[in-house]
């Protein structure tokens, strides 16, 4: 609920008019007062809804509602400030939403690229670094070899492909997780995903008190379905 101290003081007066004529000559017929604020009347009239500033209404109407021009100006300024704050709030919320949507789209595009063009890899995690944004792992490339089998009639036919792991690199590598993952395995756990075959560059990691050089590769964790 809004803070009661922030609520404008509502005025009291006639709830309906056969017509209201603004100082510019505009006539509003069959007016019903919906809300009366220090600076204006919100009315429903024959043509729809209107917010009529007391400054634009006849003096007789101002008197009926106990119009105070100083209070009206303060209320007007406060309303403008509230509207300005709301516009900025909505603007930044929209910016955050669009930024989040762009991030999601970019991650989905990168994941699609990884599944099509990168290398399927399995690795045993040595350590996690950079708060989970990267892991150190001994990695193997997942390959499939053709096999042969005998048909029920005794003919040699192609069998199901055999899954074979071959070394991805001679030593452990640093996998930079390009798309944030919900879960990354701890040291000793198995990581599965896709790795860009072209290294980002070189880096190092600490292991048993030593600084060990290692190549850095972009990687995307395989999603569990």
For the segment 9-56, what is each residue's pLDDT rounded down to a tens digit?
Answer: 445 567 889 999 999 999 999 999 998 888 899 999 999 999 999 999
52/80 same-domain check:
yes
Domain range enclosing 152: 119-221
Mean pLDDT within 159-182: 89
Assess whether 137 and 97 both reside in one domain. no
pLDDT confidence of residue 1: 39
Q: Say if residue 154 is in the same domain as residue 70.
A: no
pLDDT of 6 over the 60 cut: no
Q: In this structure, are 109 and 123 located in the same domain?
A: no
* Cβ atoms < 10 Å from Cβ of 196: 19
Q: Would you state the pLDDT for residue 9?
A: 46
- Which of 95, 117, 139 lies at the terminal end of a domain, its last residue? 117
Residue 44 has a pLDDT of 94
Last residue of a domain, one of 80, 98, 117: 117
Cβ count within 10 A of residue 177: 19
Please report the pLDDT score of residue 224 as a whole number.
66
Mean pLDDT across the chain: 87
| Number of other CB atoms surrounding residue 50 within 10 Å | 17
Give the domain-ending residue among 117, 136, 160.
117
Nearest CA to 36 out of 6, 56, 66, 60 is that of 66
Closest CA to 142 of 72, 190, 88: 190
Q: Do residues 109 and 126 both lie within one domain?
A: no
Q: How many domains does the chain divide into?
A: 2
100, 155: one domain:
no
Which DSSP letter does residue 80 get? Answer: H
Question: What percent of the chain is predicted at pLDDT more than 70?
Answer: 92
Residues 95 and 203 grouped into a single domain:
no
- Cβ atoms within 10 A of the Cβ of 141, count? 17
Mark whether 12 and 58 lie in a shared domain: yes
103-141 pLDDT, tens digit per residue, is 999 999 999 999 999 999 999 999 988 776 888 999 999
Express each pLDDT in 178-211 by its tens digit: 988 778 888 899 999 999 999 999 999 988 888 9
What's the pLDDT at 42?
92
Note whether 62 and 170 are same-domain residues.
no
In whole angstroms, what is the distance from residue 16 CA to residue 32 CA?
Answer: 4
Of 60, 54, 188, the closest CA to residue 128 belongs to 188
For residues 54 and 39, the answer to whether their CB atoms sit within 8 Å is yes
């Amino acid at each position: 609920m809004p803070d009661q101290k922030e609520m404008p003081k509502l005025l009291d007066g006639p709830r309906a008019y056969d017509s209201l004529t603004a100082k510019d000559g505009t006539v509003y017929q069959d007016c019903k007062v919906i809300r009366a604020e220090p600076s204006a009347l919100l009315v429903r009239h024959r043509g729809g809804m209107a917010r009529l500033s007391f400054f634009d209404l006849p003096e007789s109407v101002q008197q009926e509602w106990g119009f105070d021009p100083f209070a009206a100006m303060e209320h007007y300024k406060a309303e403008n400030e509230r509207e300005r704050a709301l516009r900025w709030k909505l603007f930044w919320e929209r910016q955050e939403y669009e930024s989040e949507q762009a991030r999601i789209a970019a991650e989905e595009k990168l994941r699609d690229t990884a599944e099509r063009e990168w290398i399927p890899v399995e690795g045993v995690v040595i350590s996690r670094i950079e708060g989970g944004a990267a892991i150190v792992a001994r990695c193997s490339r997942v390959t499939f070899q053709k096999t042969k089998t005998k048909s029920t009639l005794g003919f040699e036919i192609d069998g199901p492909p055999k899954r074979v792991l071959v070394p991805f690199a001679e030593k452990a590598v640093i996998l930079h997780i390009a798309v944030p993952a919900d879960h990354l395995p701890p040291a000793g756990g198995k990581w599965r995903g896709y790795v860009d075959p072209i290294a980002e560059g070189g880096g190092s990691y600490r292991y048993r008190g030593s600084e060990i050089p290692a190549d850095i590769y972009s990687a995307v964790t395989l999603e569990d379905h």
